[in-house]
Amino acid sequence: MTEVERHAYDVVVIGAGGAGLRAAIEAREQGKRTAIISKSLFGKAHTVMAEGGCAAAMGNVNSNDSWQVHFRDTMRGGKFLNNWRMAELHAREAPDRVWELETYGALFDRTGDGRISQRNFGGHTYPRLAHVGDRTGLEMIRTMQQKIVSLQQEDHAETGDYEANLKVFAECTITDLLKDGDAVAGAFGYWRESGRFVLFEAPAVVLATGGIGKSFKVTSNSWEYTGDGHALAMRAGGTLINMEFVQFHPTGMVWPPSVKGILVTEGVRGDGGVLLNSEQKRFMFEYVPTVFKGQYAETEDEADRWYLDQENNRRTPDLLPRDEVARAINTEVKAGRGSPHGGVFLDIASRRSAEEIRRLLPSMYHQFKELADVDITAEPMEVGPTCHYVMGGIEVDPDSGQSTVAGLFAAGECSGGMHGSNRLGGNSLSDLLVFGKRAGAGAAAYAGSLPSRPVVASDDIDRAARRALRPFGGGEDGTGGEDGTAENPYTIHGELQQAMNDLVGIIRTGEEVERALRTLEELKRRAARVAVEGHRQFNPGWHLALDLQNMLLVSECVARAALMRTESRGGHTRDDHPNMEPQWRNRLLVCSVERTDDGEQVAVRQQPQQPMRPDLLELFEHDELEKYYTEGELTEHPGRRS
Amino acid sequence: MAYQAKFRVWRGDAGGGALADFTVQVNEGEVVLDVIHRLQATQCGDLAVRWNCKAGKCGSCSAEVNGRPRLLCMTRMSTFAEDEMITVMPMRTFPVLRDLVTDVSYNYVKAREVRSFVPPKGVAPGEYRMQQIDVERSQEFRKCIECFLCQNTCHVLRDHEENKPAFAGPRYLMRVAELDMHPLDAAAEQGVDRRAAAQDEHGLGFCNITKCCTEVCPEHIKITDNALIPLKERVVGRRYDPLVWLGNKIRRRSGA
């Protein structure tokens, strides 16, 4: 039997980004002993890279805003494939979640009358994003990190122990979830520092591990985004939905090569920046799709007036939802109208004063100055699409965040449904607050409802330990190591990123995705022979070898779902099926994993979506719904012409 | 364009270690972290380095490059001559775990000793009102990405392990200043005196404003000028204010 360090908690939260911290705060406030497990140091989560802001219909800048307007924008952004209940809860609760952060000490930028300022963003009808310059994510992480410290100080005052009820396990990676029968019983992992194993026994586990971007070559995501939560949930018997929808942010840096993919916030366009091609033309006016016709400005004059007078003008098409803008940039570059380094131009220098730019976009100024020698107050930036976010994720109950596995909850980017086929900018920071809190509450309620604690079987611990140590033995089939066929994890990772980028990227075809699947099969076989050098103490090669298993599994989900969905919608564009098809609108693709003799195989099936509640459906005009729905789905709508 | 650079990277653990020499390819536009990653991928798969965002936003990849505390992801190779030897060492103020990774837990201990924000009583969520000009001072300090380079550089801490228990370091003194300048912090109403705590609990008196912390801050926060000196002034203002002095005397006597 494997010797292992053991900890027992009521709720274990895996992931210390925004969703994980909010879930942990909630579980602790509901009186549950809670552990936060973080792959990195506390406070380094990917959330710190979120720049533009947190969407919440507070109506501070434009009082016409309301949860209903936010709900409508979110559904349109996701092309009506969203889980409507999640979109409803999100729009209703986001303002309270933002205001709550102020009681933790957050300092957002202010309006003239001292309230939280809100900025314009793609797809949002009104200025809606609470922000702090262009470092909003950092403010949110720091605020919740400090709230956790505050709760620990309360516990210290009461018990003499800061970590009596809430403890952070930093630089600790979970490799397996363990079950007792059909329900979650714990999580198994290793300390990055020492390589030693650790077991968390808990009746409720919240996954908040973020996204999957590290499977793509050009990405704005950090190394942590290896799809761990997605993979852990699947291996525990959970399901993923919407995995074919991957968001390519339209504006990533394109030069120099080493920074390619680093994010350039949408706030640049929200604050007046415009996209230009090599002919100095504002090309976005050519790319307003049929479904959004009439909702966006048709002339540059109107677009420019809109920044000052939103009542009487329509918004600039530079602020269309991200999928539309990313595709437009892709098309311009392909047509030979790109910038010297294969992007397009993003110009704010000629539209705002240098002083305003430095105040509104300090990190962008800093980033371009230090990494690319570009002064964005004097010259345009070069930008192009970068893999940014996965809309797909763990299938959960909207209200509690519980997955299809008892005791397993998920929130934030690793959960699926909320954003449908495309997420609006700003809806991620609000998503993680709303559903982080809900998942924390769901996990606390579940843990409190159990008559007895689940038990982890020692066989399962042994199995998890063996799996984690495989890369040292030269692979499971024993062919790695001495005989020279051992594989290097860095090499396989590089090939995976290239394949996903080229074959399952922003524009896809059935033929290319099939090729990607063949490559993935080959990479899976080679990954089984990965061998790492050195020992277990802080060994990045070993860590990558384990993360690679998750990336391969999740990449296969993306590719298989992308092959099955024969239409184009949001973050899934099929060149061989370019139209959005109403009969695909309410069909979700659900991924699960089957263990075979050869290892793991992903299965995808179709599942109809619950029809939207009538009162929510009636928030939309019949004319608009017609563009997305089949006729049969709208028979009850009051606006239906007989 | 691409060239072969000479790198010297410290390798070892708590038990000791040494600089190891490498020759490694460098491409146009790269930063030191790119080169460290290339070493991992091609020459030593187990070379330990912390990093997350590679965009100067998370503050994980702090180290010392040619003796200067820097973020590896924001140190461009073009700032060195092609034939220059580049030496990469772990931060010196914190114990080494392995290679370039150090044990920075001291900072988290200090973070926990600073009394948190105290929300004002009777102000409901959503009712907070603050002017931009009033939040800007604290906002500057909240730009901190917790790379701990200031802590690493501060001469009170560097090579002075004995000062660590009594001194929170620039990062956490700045945190005290941030809270003291927060327009709605209600610590005083709860009997928490942040200025006294800065001096008595967090060791503000150790700081003799040499500004080393400010110089290495990758976020260009004016730690010394905008946080530490004003905090010192506030402490002094309170301690040597004749009325406060008299008040304290009287209260102490009447309590005796």
Q: Check: CB of residue A370 under 8 Å from CB of residue A377.
A: no
Q: Please determine, for residue B247, whether its predicted confidence score (pLDDT) is greater than 80.
A: no
All residues of chain A having their beta carbon less than 8 Å from the beta carbon of residue B51 are: 223
Could you say which residues from 100 to 129 on chain A have a Cβ atom under 8 Å away from some Cβ of chain B? 100, 102-105, 107-110, 113-115, 117
Q: From the centroid of its chain, how far is CA A491?
A: 26
Kind and range of the H or E run holding B16: strand B16-26
**Residue tagged 């939560």 (tokens):** A229
Please state, in angstroms and rounded to a whole number, the distance separating the CA atoms of residues A156 and A171. Answer: 23
Residue A435 in tokens: 């559903």
> According to the model, what pLDDT value does residue A473 have?
81
Query: Average pLDDT of A614-634?
Result: 95
Query: Average pLDDT of A300-317?
Result: 93
CB atoms B130 and A114 under 8 Å = yes
Task: Considering the candidates A269, A388, A419, A565, report the single residue annotated as catalytic.
Answer: A269
> According to the model, what pLDDT value does residue B242 have?
75
Q: Please determine, for residue A34, whether its predicted confidence score (pLDDT) is greater than 90.
A: yes
Please state, in angstroms and rounded to a whole number, the distance separating the CA atoms of residues A567 and A574. Answer: 6
Q: Check: CB of residue A487 under 8 Å from CB of residue A529.
A: yes
Q: Please determine, for residue A482, whether its predicted confidence score (pLDDT) is greater than 70.
A: no
Give the ranges where chain B is alpha helix by DSSP (H): 32-42, 105-113, 132-142, 149-153, 169-180, 194-200, 212-216, 229-239, 242-255
In this complex, the residue of A139, A491, A537 whose CB is nearest that of residue B98 is A537
> According to the model, what pLDDT value does residue B114 have?
98
> According to the model, what pLDDT value does residue A310 have?
87
All residues of chain B having their beta carbon less than 8 Å from the beta carbon of residue A114 are: 129-131
Strand order in the sheet with A246-253: A246-253, A381-390, A344-347, A274-276
| Distance between B174 CA and the closest CA of chain A, angstroms | 14
Could you say which residues from 57 to 96 on chain B have a Cβ atom under 8 Å away from some Cβ of chain A? 57-60, 74, 76
**Closest alpha carbon within chain B to A171:** B50
> According to the model, what pLDDT value does residue A533 have?
87
Please state, in angstroms and rounded to a whole number, the distance separating the CA atoms of residues A190 and A547. Answer: 12
Please state, in angstroms and rounded to a whole number, the distance separating the CA atoms of residues A558 and A552. Answer: 10
Rg from Cα positions in chain B:
22
Residue A115 in tokens: 């309230």
Please state, in angstroms and rounded to a whole number, the distance separating the CA atoms of residues B115 and A105. Answer: 12
All residues of chain B having their beta carbon less than 8 Å from the beta carbon of residue A540 are: 40, 45-49
Q: Catalytic annotation on A269?
A: yes
Q: How confident is the model at residue B241 (pLDDT cuts 50, 70, 90)?
A: confident
Does residue A147 belong to the interface with chain B, where contact is any CB pair within 8 Å? yes
State pTM to two decimals.
0.95
CB atoms A41 and B50 under 8 Å = yes
Does residue B216 belong to the interface with chain A, where contact is any CB pair within 8 Å? no
What is the interface size between A and B, counted as CB pairs within 8 Å?
176
Does residue A48 belong to the interface with chain B, where contact is any CB pair within 8 Å? yes
ipTM above 0.95, yes or no: no
Q: Worst-scoring range by mean pLDDT, A549-553, A566-570, A587-591, B237-241?
A: B237-241
Handedness of CA A473, A476, A479, A480 (dihedral sign): negative
Could you say which residues from 350 to 389 on chain A have a Cβ atom under 8 Å away from some Cβ of chain B? 362-363, 366-367, 370-372
Q: How confident is the model at residue B254 (pLDDT cuts 50, 70, 90)?
A: low
Task: Write the pLDDT tens digit of every residue in A179-219.
Answer: 999 999 999 999 999 999 999 999 999 999 999 999 999 99
Q: Please determine, for residue A426, whether its predicted confidence score (pLDDT) is greater than 80.
A: yes
Q: Check: CB of residue B100 under 8 Å from CB of residue B32.
A: no
Distances in Å between the alpha carbon of A323 and those of A73, A76, A212, A271, B202?
A: 14, 12, 18, 20, 50
All residues of chain A having their beta carbon less than 8 Å from the beta carbon of residue B130 are: 107, 110, 114
A511-515, Cβ contacts within 8 angstroms, sequence gap of 24 or more: A511/A576, A513/A559, A513/A562, A513/A563, A514/A563
Q: How confident is the model at residue A484 (pLDDT cuts 50, 70, 90)?
A: low
> According to the model, what pLDDT value does residue A480 have?
47
Backbone angles phi, psi at B98, to 5 degrees: -160, 135
Q: Return mean pLDDT, chain A.
A: 95
Query: Average pLDDT of A340-348?
Result: 95
Does residue A307 belong to the interface with chain B, where contact is any CB pair within 8 Å? no
Q: Which residues contact A452 (CB under 8 A, 6 or more apart)?
A: none
CB atoms B60 and A43 under 8 Å = no
Q: Please determine, for residue B240, whether its predicted confidence score (pLDDT) is greater than 90.
A: no
Q: How confident is the model at residue A640 (pLDDT cuts 50, 70, 90)?
A: confident
Q: How confident is the model at residue B256 (pLDDT cuts 50, 70, 90)?
A: very low
| Distance between B233 CA and the closest CA of chain A, angstroms | 24
Task: Considering the candidates A235, A249, A327, A470, report the single residue annotated as catalytic.
Answer: A249
Residue A280 in tokens: 């100095």
CB atoms A105 and B117 under 8 Å = yes
Q: Return mean pLDDT, chain B.
A: 94
Q: Catalytic annotation on A438?
A: no
> According to the model, what pLDDT value does residue A479 have?
46
Please state, in angstroms and rounded to a whole number, the distance separating the CA atoms of residues A606 and A379. Answer: 49
Please state, in angstroms and rounded to a whole number, the distance separating the CA atoms of residues A546 and A218. Answer: 21
In this complex, the residue of A103, A139, A541 whose CB is nearest that of residue B125 is A103
Instruction: Supply the DSSP string of A95-118, one letter for each residue.
Output: HHHHHHHHHHT----B-TTSSB-E
CA angle in degrees (0–180, nearest 5) for B215-B220-B221: 95
CB atoms B116 and A224 under 8 Å = no
Task: Write the pLDDT tens digit of every residue in A122-138.
Answer: 999 999 999 999 899 99
Q: How confident is the model at residue A585 (pLDDT cuts 50, 70, 90)?
A: very high
**Helices then strands, each counted (H, E), chain B:** 9, 7
In this complex, the residue of A142, A222, A534 whose CB is nearest that of residue B53 is A222
> According to the model, what pLDDT value does residue A477 have?
47
The SS3 of residue A86 is: helix
Task: Write the pLDDT tens digit of every residue in B139-153.
Answer: 999 999 999 999 999
Return the percentage of chain A with pLDDT > 90, whole number: 91
| Amino acid type, A429 | L
**Closest alpha carbon within chain A to B105:** A41
Q: How confident is the model at residue A642 (pLDDT cuts 50, 70, 90)?
A: low
**Closest alpha carbon within chain B to A262:** B55
> According to the model, what pLDDT value does residue A636 have?
87
Please state, in angstroms and rounded to a whole number, the distance separating the CA atoms of residues A86 and A435. Answer: 9
Q: Please determine, for residue A455, whether its predicted confidence score (pLDDT) is greater than 50.
A: yes
Task: Write the pLDDT tens digit of every residue in A394-408.
Answer: 999 999 999 999 999
**Closest alpha carbon within chain A to B13:** A537
Return the percentage of chain B with pLDDT > 70, whole number: 96
Could you say which residues from 248 to 267 on chain A have a Cβ atom under 8 Å away from some Cβ of chain B? 255-259, 262-263
Burial level of A503, CB count in 10 A (0-12/13-18/19+)? Answer: buried
Q: Check: CB of residue A210 under 8 Å from CB of residue A538.
A: no
